[in-house]
Amino acid sequence: MTEARLFAELQETKAELRQLRERVSAGTQTVHKDLSLVSLVPKWSGSESGIPLEEFLSSIEGAAQVGLWDNSDRFNVAVLRLMDGAKQFYNGCLELHSPDADWQKFKTVFSNWHSTAGYIIVS
């Protein structure tokens, strides 16, 4: 390597070390999320024979608390665990596909859908 290239790499390394020191001194902690807990969240179809919506949402909240998930993780896990009628509803709900869709909106939309439509029966 040329001397100029080595000097450039040294400057980059110094800058990275400075950033790391600032982050550590600011008390920023690294958060380790445990997404393996997704398997503890039951699939939810919205059918009468399945688990109630409240239990589905509660299982996501519980796993999120233990796994250190943020609201974005909660939203994504909820969508991942939908099936049958609930998945069809989600796929057709433009409100939940907008850029500002979040966990709170998911809970509100599905609670409203579930309470007004009753259970979706999938044969």
Q: What is the pTM of this model?
A: 0.67
- Is-contact 82 44, C-beta < 8 A? yes
Read off the pLDDT of residues 28-86 as tens digits, 9 standing for 90 and up.
565 677 777 888 899 999 888 888 999 999 999 999 998 888 999 999 999 999 999 89
DSSP reduced 3-state for 15: helix
Residue 90 backbone dihedrals phi, psi, to 5 degrees: -60, -45
Structural domain boundaries in the chain: 1-30, 35-117
**Interhelix angle 71-80/103-117, nearest 10 degrees:** 40
Q: Which two tokens stand for residue 54?
A: 């409240």
